[in-house]
Structure 1
Amino acid sequence: MKVAVLTNVIPTYRKDFYNRVFTNESHEVTVFCQKSVPGSNLKPIHEQYGERVVLLKYWSPFQNDSLVFHFLPIFTLWKYDILVVDGNVRHVTMALLSTLFRLFGKKIVIWSNVYSAHGNSALQWVRRTWWRIFDNFLMYTEKDVEILNDKKFERKNIIAINNGLNQDEIDNTRSNWNKDKLEAFKKQHNIESQNIIISSGRVNKANNHALALEALQKVVTTIPDVLWVIIGNGTEIEVLKTAAQTEGLQNNILFLGEIYEEDKKSPWFLLSKVLIHPGFMGLTIFNSFGYSLPVIIHDNIMNHSPEVFLFEENKTGLLFKENDPVDLANKIIFALKNESKMEAMKQNVYNVVRHKNNTEIMSQQFFKMINTLK
């Protein structure tokens, strides 16, 4: 069976998923995508897959992915048995073509999520209304399936793909580190703190590192040796460094810059007791869970990505009041002072990514959907 996937790009974090999809012997899968996303830090890897990927030319009136017109090979796509299409109306020609193909009887699978952080409610309503002409939905999370059913899609064929990362790779990397090696790593980097917390992601206004810095001022009065490790770079990095100096926190913050290699990130995650993410939480939640690391995030769930629906308060981490540095500080102090409670959370978060949300499960769910359409 020939399957065409229409999406924006193939990012690095989906490498293992596409490796599994492309090596499946029962189905011939081809991805149609663009070379890059303007204004995004996504690192595409399409060049690794040769003829299994068809690059699309596109045009956008904006310098980002907010509205895109792809130039689609209509007659080539018609030859495929199934089209798996990004269910985003902002990808205008993909939306139009999938609608047209559906009207002519082609099997279409919408691959998407119900809500987007900071999404326009009117646009989300338009998207869900458009979706009603389709029968098959591959949703990011099980919560998306639940929400879609509540929106009277219960008679549709809906499967959760269970977004995740390559947990096998993370586990293999973790296995290279034991307690002695981690202690040696700390000495190598002149780290004496027994209370390390970590953040990973773009240092920009959306991720609100400034709020965490404000919270850190309160944390150090109770836990003087706390060390906040920051992985990432971005538009606010210099502002944050200056603020750290101004507030006298330079010895409590370690700026590591961008780190993409799993083996280089691994010791920092393993040395940390909790991951703090004061702003928009996205795929970082999978990386954190992969290292058995609970998370501290704000309580406005709709201002996070769909993956945050995997979070359960007091089971996989802690919630603080959005934009409240005092409450964030209190949650950090709680996490560092209540080791036994955090240990239970560590097992919970690992179970999520080991057994429910990872790229192996994603590929299984992907073909589960395809097989329902034979």
Structure 2
Amino acid sequence: MKKLRLTCIFNYAPHYRLPIYRLIDEHFQTDFYFGKNLKGSIRSIDMDDLSGFKNYIVNKNILGTNYLWQKGALRAFFRHQESICILTGSPYTVSNWVIGLCGRLLNRKVWVWTHGMKGEKKGKRKGFEKSFYRLFDKILLYGHYSEKIMLKEGFKEKKLVVIYNSLDYTKQLEIRRNLNQKLIFSKYFKNDFQTLIYVGRLQKVKRLDLILHAMTKLKPEIKINLVLVGKETDGSNLKELVNKLGLSEHVWFYGETYDELEIAELFNESHICISPGPIGLTAIHAATFGVPLITNDNFSKQMPEFEVIKDGMNGSFFKENDVDDLSEKIRLWCNKSDEEIQTSQLYSLNKIKQYYNPLRQLEIIRSLIPQ
């Protein structure tokens, strides 16, 4: 049977999306087009690993504004007019508006894969977003928080599809089954304290300074170490703060790594994963290895992956920017019993297995297409 054709026009090709893109490539006749010059982008996919890759498009800022035009996107859209077109769903990409309007005029299905509306926009800015999303046949959302907001704004339920997010679940599952304790932290820190971990870019927006201040509040009652896995990107001056607070013996600036086994070994020996700012994919990564999670409670500014957390079950939300509340949440999880931690781990593992993996995403996409 002939495979359905998809045209995927995305603003970038982050490396972590390769597993879901490969599955889409295998099950559909897919043409992939990616932007290659997006500011602040993380490591991208090696296009030799994706057989459906056709070409790059160019993300061009319009007159120095935040609006983009994707040069080559319209050509990609019109190349196969029988295909379903899937876009990265940003209303600030003007070419997306044009493709959405063309889809309407030509009676052609165009979907957007997007964060959707988060409830923080008001007045004209909210109207701008609503007008954009109304152009498309389906809106593929990363989480239910946005879905609920868009339902309240009058979008039809059948138009909104929660597709979640994912990493390389199959590879991570295989690694998890074969993990052994290596005593990495006890060898480095030369103590047996409980260890907090953060994995991601070391950015000011992540508010990692709050963890350091919480550590000073908790000692000497609760002695903990902190491992920061990632590259410092915007001058957050964390090392200076560590020295100022006298925490240099208990904080490890591990550096950047994309090695799945290496990251898994670090998670395997961590007690809590903390991201005081928006948590993003770190939530999926840590939960895949059963590590409890702590992040802030301002969901309108969070990344959609905060929904991995069920408060009190496999993690906690603290009051945004509140060091005292963060300290209390760290204390809470440091004092959990082995039985409570095991219950937390099982909840996280099941949540990832049910929702946050590429096979689940593929299943959702296939359910949207008439057989």
Normalising by structure 2, report the TM-score.
0.90
Amino acid aligned to 2:177: S
Amino acid aligned to 1:158: L
Contact kept? 2:73, 2:95, Cα under 8 Å: no
Q: List runs of 5+ in structure 1 lacking aligned partners.
A: none
Q: Quick one: distance in 2 between partners of 1:182 and 1:124?
A: 51
Deviation of 1:202 after TM superposition, in Å, equals: 1.3
Normalising by structure 1, report the TM-score.
0.89
SS in structure 2 opposite 1:302? coil
Q: Which residue of 2 aligns with 1:8?
A: 11
Contact kept? 2:274, 2:293, Cα under 8 Å: yes
SS in structure 2 opposite 1:230? strand
Q: Which residue of 1 aligns with 2:364?
A: 365
Deviation of 1:279 after TM superposition, in Å, equals: 1.1
How many residue pairs get aligned? The number is: 365
SS in structure 2 opposite 1:222? coil
Structure 1's 10 and 41: CA in aligned 2 closer, same or farther, altered over 3 A?
closer
Deviation of 1:259 after TM superposition, in Å, equals: 1.4
Amino acid aligned to 1:292: G
Q: Which residue of 2 aligns with 1:216?
A: 215
Q: Which residue of 1 aligns with 2:170?
A: 168
**How many percent of aligned residue pairs carry the same amino acid?**
21
Amino acid aligned to 2:360: I
Q: Quick one: distance in 2 between partners of 1:157 and 1:238?
A: 41
Q: Quick one: distance in 1 between partners of 2:236 and 2:92?
A: 33
Q: Quick one: distance in 2 between partners of 1:337 and 1:56?
A: 51
Q: Does 1:346 align with 2:345?
A: yes
Q: Quick one: distance in 2 between partners of 1:172 and 1:351?
A: 15
Q: List runs of 5+ in structure 2 lacking aligned partners.
A: none
SS in structure 2 opposite 1:197? strand
Q: Does 1:31 align with 2:32?
A: yes
Q: Deviations over 1:110-147 (max 9, x none)?
A: 22122359767743431222222333222222443343
Q: Quick one: distance in 1 between partners of 2:289 and 2:43?
A: 22
Contact kept? 2:172, 2:288, Cα under 8 Å: yes
Amino acid aligned to 1:133: L
Q: Which residue of 2 aligns with 1:195?
A: 194
Structure 1's 121 and 232: CA in aligned 2 closer, same or farther, altered over 3 A?
farther
SS in structure 2 opposite 1:164? coil
Q: Does 1:182 align with 2:185?
A: no
Q: Which residue of 2 aligns with 1:275?
A: 273
Contact kept? 1:11, 1:45, Cα under 8 Å: no
Q: Which residue of 1 aligns with 2:25?
A: 22
Amino acid aligned to 1:196: T
Equivalent of residue 135 in structure 2, options 133, 136, 143: 133
Deviation of 1:193 after TM superposition, in Å, equals: 2.1
Contact kept? 1:87, 1:95, Cα under 8 Å: no
Deviation of 1:50 after TM superposition, in Å, equals: 4.9
Q: Quick one: distance in 1 between partners of 2:199 and 2:263?
A: 9
Q: Quick one: distance in 1 between partners of 2:220 and 2:69?
A: 53
Contact kept? 1:9, 1:44, Cα under 8 Å: no
Deviation of 1:343 after TM superposition, in Å, equals: 3.1
SS in structure 2 opposite 1:152? coil
Higher relative contact order (CA 8 A, sep 6+): 1
